[in-house]
A = this chain, B = another copy of it.
Protein backbone atom coordinates (compact mmCIF):
# COMPACT_ATOMS: atom_id res chain seq x y z
CA UNK A 1 0.00 0.00 0.00
CA UNK A 2 2.95 2.27 0.21
CA UNK A 3 2.17 3.45 -3.23
CA UNK A 4 4.97 2.26 -5.42
CA UNK A 5 3.04 -0.75 -6.55
CA UNK A 6 0.27 1.46 -7.73
CA UNK A 7 2.52 2.57 -10.52
CA UNK A 8 1.71 0.35 -13.42
CA UNK A 9 5.04 0.06 -15.13
CA UNK A 10 6.79 -0.62 -11.86
CA UNK A 11 4.32 -3.23 -10.80
CA UNK A 12 4.68 -4.89 -14.16
CA UNK A 13 8.31 -5.54 -13.47
CA UNK A 14 7.52 -8.10 -10.91
CA UNK A 15 8.08 -7.90 -7.20
CA UNK A 16 11.47 -7.11 -5.91
CA UNK A 17 12.62 -5.26 -8.93
CA UNK A 18 11.74 -1.93 -7.46
CA UNK A 19 12.22 -2.78 -3.84
CA UNK A 20 15.47 -0.89 -3.90
CA UNK A 21 13.60 2.24 -4.66
CA UNK A 22 11.37 1.85 -1.69
CA UNK A 23 14.27 1.56 0.65
CA UNK A 24 16.47 4.25 -0.77
CA UNK A 25 14.02 6.75 -2.14
CA UNK A 26 11.94 9.26 -0.24
CA UNK A 27 8.20 9.58 -0.35
CA UNK A 28 6.98 13.14 -0.21
CA UNK A 29 3.63 14.83 -0.17
CA UNK A 30 2.72 18.21 -1.53
CA UNK A 31 -0.46 20.17 -1.46
CA UNK A 32 -1.63 22.23 -4.39
CA UNK A 33 0.61 25.15 -5.12
CA UNK A 34 3.69 23.82 -3.39
CA UNK A 35 6.94 23.61 -5.27
CA UNK A 36 8.42 20.18 -5.77
CA UNK A 37 11.64 21.41 -7.24
CA UNK A 38 13.17 24.58 -8.57
CA UNK A 39 15.95 25.19 -11.04
CA UNK A 40 19.35 24.14 -9.84
CA UNK A 41 22.70 23.96 -11.54
CA UNK A 42 23.34 20.53 -10.15
CA UNK A 43 20.29 18.35 -9.74
CA UNK A 44 20.91 15.11 -7.96
CA UNK A 45 17.46 13.65 -7.83
CA UNK A 46 14.80 12.54 -10.19
CA UNK A 47 11.19 12.10 -9.25
CA UNK A 48 8.36 9.71 -9.81
CA UNK A 49 4.81 10.89 -9.47
CA UNK A 50 2.82 8.34 -7.55
CA UNK A 51 -0.37 10.27 -7.45
CA UNK A 52 -1.59 13.78 -8.11
CA UNK A 53 -0.77 16.28 -10.80
CA UNK A 54 2.41 18.23 -11.33
CA UNK A 55 2.96 21.19 -13.57
CA UNK A 56 6.33 21.78 -15.17
CA UNK A 57 7.08 25.36 -15.99
CA UNK A 58 9.72 27.92 -16.66
CA UNK A 59 9.88 31.51 -15.60
CA UNK A 60 11.45 34.19 -17.69
CA UNK A 61 13.67 36.95 -16.46
CA UNK A 62 10.68 39.26 -16.54
CA UNK A 63 8.55 36.93 -14.51
CA UNK A 64 6.35 35.55 -17.24
CA UNK A 65 5.81 31.84 -17.18
CA UNK A 66 5.39 29.07 -19.72
CA UNK A 67 3.93 25.74 -18.84
CA UNK A 68 6.00 23.06 -20.47
CA UNK A 69 3.61 20.32 -19.57
CA UNK A 70 1.97 18.26 -16.90
CA UNK A 71 3.26 15.10 -15.35
CA UNK A 72 0.90 12.17 -15.46
CA UNK A 73 0.64 9.72 -12.61
CA UNK A 74 3.35 7.12 -12.74
CA UNK A 75 5.66 9.23 -14.81
CA UNK A 76 9.24 10.00 -14.08
CA UNK A 77 10.07 13.69 -14.09
CA UNK A 78 12.55 16.27 -12.98
CA UNK A 79 15.11 16.60 -15.67
CA UNK A 80 15.36 13.23 -16.97
CA UNK A 81 16.81 15.55 -19.47
CA UNK A 82 19.40 16.54 -16.95
CA UNK A 83 20.37 12.98 -16.81
CA UNK A 84 23.72 14.01 -18.06
CA UNK A 85 25.27 16.90 -16.31
CA UNK A 86 22.95 19.63 -17.31
CA UNK A 87 21.54 22.14 -14.93
CA UNK A 88 17.88 21.99 -14.27
CA UNK A 89 15.99 24.99 -15.55
CA UNK A 90 12.40 24.24 -14.79
CA UNK A 91 10.10 24.44 -11.83
CA UNK A 92 7.77 21.69 -10.79
CA UNK A 93 4.69 22.76 -8.91
CA UNK A 94 1.88 20.63 -7.58
CA UNK A 95 -1.45 21.52 -9.12
CA UNK A 96 -3.28 19.12 -6.90
CA UNK A 97 -2.35 17.28 -3.72
CA UNK A 98 0.39 14.99 -4.87
CA UNK A 99 2.57 12.19 -3.69
CA UNK A 100 6.02 11.98 -5.10
CA UNK A 101 9.04 9.72 -4.80
CA UNK A 102 12.37 11.42 -4.82
CA UNK A 103 15.12 9.16 -6.11
CA UNK A 104 18.84 9.90 -5.92
CA UNK A 105 20.12 10.29 -9.43
CA UNK A 106 23.02 7.92 -8.92
CA UNK A 107 20.78 5.21 -7.62
CA UNK A 108 18.37 5.65 -10.44
CA UNK A 109 21.04 5.52 -13.03
CA UNK A 110 22.59 2.37 -11.70
CA UNK A 111 19.16 0.89 -11.29
CA UNK A 112 18.45 1.48 -14.94
CA UNK A 113 21.79 0.12 -16.02
CA UNK A 114 21.07 -3.20 -14.51
CA UNK A 115 17.49 -3.46 -15.67
CA UNK A 116 17.02 -3.12 -19.40
CA UNK A 117 13.24 -3.27 -19.38
CA UNK A 118 13.18 -0.19 -17.24
CA UNK A 119 15.54 1.60 -19.54
CA UNK A 120 13.15 0.81 -22.32
CA UNK A 121 10.23 2.12 -20.33
CA UNK A 122 12.05 5.32 -19.52
CA UNK A 123 12.95 5.76 -23.13
CA UNK A 124 9.34 5.34 -24.05
CA UNK A 125 8.23 7.93 -21.55
CA UNK A 126 10.79 10.40 -22.75
CA UNK A 127 9.76 9.76 -26.30
CA UNK A 128 6.18 10.53 -25.46
CA UNK A 129 7.10 13.73 -23.84
CA UNK A 130 9.46 14.67 -26.61
CA UNK A 131 6.74 14.21 -29.13
CA UNK A 132 4.45 16.37 -27.11
CA UNK A 133 6.92 19.18 -26.76
CA UNK A 134 7.70 19.08 -30.45
CA UNK A 135 4.05 19.42 -31.21
CA UNK A 136 3.94 22.34 -28.89
CA UNK A 137 6.70 24.01 -30.84
CA UNK A 138 4.89 23.39 -34.06
CA UNK A 139 1.76 24.85 -32.63
CA UNK A 140 3.42 27.93 -31.25
CA UNK A 141 5.08 28.72 -34.51
CA UNK A 142 2.11 28.23 -36.72
CA UNK A 143 -1.33 29.28 -35.80
CA UNK A 144 -2.92 32.20 -34.06
CA UNK A 145 -4.28 32.25 -30.56
CA UNK A 146 -7.58 30.70 -31.56
CA UNK A 147 -6.04 27.65 -33.16
CA UNK A 148 -3.42 27.24 -30.47
CA UNK A 149 -6.13 27.31 -27.89
CA UNK A 150 -8.10 24.71 -29.78
CA UNK A 151 -5.05 22.49 -29.81
CA UNK A 152 -4.41 22.68 -26.08
CA UNK A 153 -8.01 22.08 -25.24
CA UNK A 154 -7.92 18.92 -27.29
CA UNK A 155 -4.74 17.80 -25.59
CA UNK A 156 -6.12 18.51 -22.17
CA UNK A 157 -9.27 16.67 -23.08
CA UNK A 158 -7.28 13.66 -24.11
CA UNK A 159 -5.16 13.66 -20.99
CA UNK A 160 -7.59 14.67 -18.31
CA UNK A 161 -11.01 14.81 -19.89
CA UNK A 162 -14.01 12.69 -19.00
CA UNK A 163 -15.86 11.76 -22.11
CA UNK A 164 -19.57 11.85 -21.82
CA UNK A 165 -21.29 10.87 -25.01
CA UNK A 166 -20.24 13.41 -27.57
CA UNK A 167 -19.10 16.03 -25.14
CA UNK A 168 -15.86 15.81 -23.26
CA UNK A 169 -15.52 17.55 -19.94
CA UNK A 170 -12.34 19.15 -18.74
CA UNK A 171 -12.68 19.75 -15.09
CA UNK A 172 -9.24 20.15 -13.65
CA UNK A 173 -9.81 23.66 -12.45
CA UNK A 174 -7.56 25.30 -14.94
CA UNK A 175 -7.82 29.05 -15.20
CA UNK A 176 -7.71 31.07 -18.38
CA UNK A 177 -4.51 32.55 -17.13
CA UNK A 178 -2.90 29.15 -16.91
CA UNK A 179 -4.22 28.27 -20.33
CA UNK A 180 -2.44 31.35 -21.55
CA UNK A 181 0.86 30.05 -20.23
CA UNK A 182 0.28 26.89 -22.20
CA UNK A 183 -0.13 28.60 -25.51
CA UNK A 184 2.13 31.54 -24.94
CA UNK A 185 -0.52 34.18 -24.90
CA UNK A 186 -2.29 36.42 -22.44
CA UNK A 187 -5.23 35.96 -20.16
CA UNK A 188 -7.25 38.47 -22.13
CA UNK A 189 -6.65 36.91 -25.50
CA UNK A 190 -7.52 33.50 -24.18
CA UNK A 191 -10.65 34.91 -22.72
CA UNK A 192 -11.66 36.40 -26.02
CA UNK A 193 -10.88 33.24 -27.94
CA UNK A 194 -12.82 31.12 -25.48
CA UNK A 195 -15.74 33.45 -25.84
CA UNK A 196 -15.63 33.12 -29.59
CA UNK A 197 -15.50 29.34 -29.39
CA UNK A 198 -18.43 29.39 -27.04
CA UNK A 199 -20.43 31.60 -29.38
CA UNK A 200 -19.67 29.22 -32.20
CA UNK A 201 -21.24 26.49 -30.13
CA UNK A 202 -18.02 24.55 -29.98
CA UNK A 203 -17.73 24.59 -26.26
CA UNK A 204 -19.71 25.40 -23.19
CA UNK A 205 -18.32 27.04 -20.10
CA UNK A 206 -19.81 26.47 -16.72
CA UNK A 207 -17.73 28.04 -14.06
CA UNK A 208 -14.29 26.57 -14.02
CA UNK A 209 -15.17 23.59 -16.12
CA UNK A 210 -15.04 23.42 -19.87
CA UNK A 211 -17.11 21.13 -22.04
CA UNK A 212 -16.08 20.36 -25.56
CA UNK A 213 -19.23 20.06 -27.59
CA UNK A 214 -17.77 19.62 -31.01
CA UNK A 215 -14.32 18.13 -31.03
CA UNK A 216 -14.42 17.67 -34.74
CA UNK A 217 -14.76 21.33 -35.42
CA UNK A 218 -12.22 22.09 -32.75
CA UNK A 219 -9.78 19.79 -34.45
CA UNK A 220 -10.30 21.61 -37.70
CA UNK A 221 -9.56 24.92 -36.07
CA UNK A 222 -6.48 23.49 -34.43
CA UNK A 223 -5.14 22.38 -37.77
CA UNK A 224 -5.91 25.57 -39.59
CA UNK A 225 -2.99 27.76 -38.71
CA UNK A 226 -4.74 30.96 -39.32
CA UNK A 227 -8.00 30.14 -37.64
CA UNK A 228 -9.76 33.21 -38.85
CA UNK A 229 -12.29 31.38 -40.92
CA UNK A 230 -15.28 33.35 -39.76
CA UNK A 231 -17.49 30.44 -38.95
CA UNK A 232 -20.84 31.76 -40.11
CA UNK A 233 -23.07 28.85 -39.31
CA UNK A 234 -24.45 25.70 -40.83
CA UNK A 235 -20.87 25.04 -41.54
CA UNK A 236 -19.67 22.16 -43.55
CA UNK A 237 -18.08 19.45 -41.59
CA UNK A 238 -15.86 17.32 -43.65
CA UNK A 239 -13.09 14.85 -43.70
CA UNK A 240 -12.45 12.82 -40.67
CA UNK A 241 -8.84 11.85 -40.68
A residues touching B (Cβ–Cβ < 8 Å)? 58, 60-62, 64, 66, 68, 79-84, 86, 89-90, 109, 112-117, 119-120, 122-124, 126-131, 133-138, 140-142, 184, 223-226
Q: Which residue of the partner chain, among B58, B112, B131, contacts A86 with CB atoms under 8 Å?
A: B131
8 Å CB contact of A123 from B68, B117, B119, B142: B119
Q: Give Cα A89 to B62, complex, Å.
A: 34
Pick the contact of A80: B62, B86, B123, B142 (CB < 8 A). B123
- A121 vs chain B, min Cβ distance (A): 10
Residues A126 and B124 in contact, CB atoms below 8 Å apart: no
Selected contact of A60 from candidates B82, B122, B123, B142, CB within 8 Å: B142
| Nearest CB of chain B from residue A13's CB, rounded to whole Å | 14
Residues of B with C-beta under 8 A to A114 = 116
- Can you give 28 contacting A-B residue pairs, CB < 8 Å? A60-B138, A61-B223, A61-B224, A62-B225, A68-B134, A68-B137, A79-B127, A80-B127, A80-B130, A83-B123, A89-B131, A90-B134, A109-B120, A113-B117, A113-B119, A119-B119, A119-B120, A123-B126, A126-B127, A126-B130, A129-B130, A130-B130, A133-B137, A136-B137, A137-B140, A140-B141, A141-B184, A142-B184
CB distance from A173 to the nearest CB of B (A): 23
The prevalent SS among residues of A at the interface is helix
From A60, which residue of chain B is reached at the shortest CB distance? B142
Q: How far is the CA of A223 from the CA of B122 in the complex (A)?
A: 32
In the bound complex, how far is the Cα of B83 from the Cα of A130, in angstroms? 11
CA distance A46 to B184 in the complex (A): 32
Please tell me if the beta carbons of A140 and B142 are within 8 angstroms of each other in the complex.
no
What separation, in Å, do the CA atoms of A130 and B80 have in the docked complex? 9
For the complex, give the distance between the alpha carbons of A131 and B224 in Å. 28
A59 to B159, CA, bound (A): 25
* B123 engages A64 (CB within 8 Å): no
**Complexed CA–CA distance, A81 and B137 (Å):** 15
Cα distance A146–B116 in the bound complex, in angstroms: 45
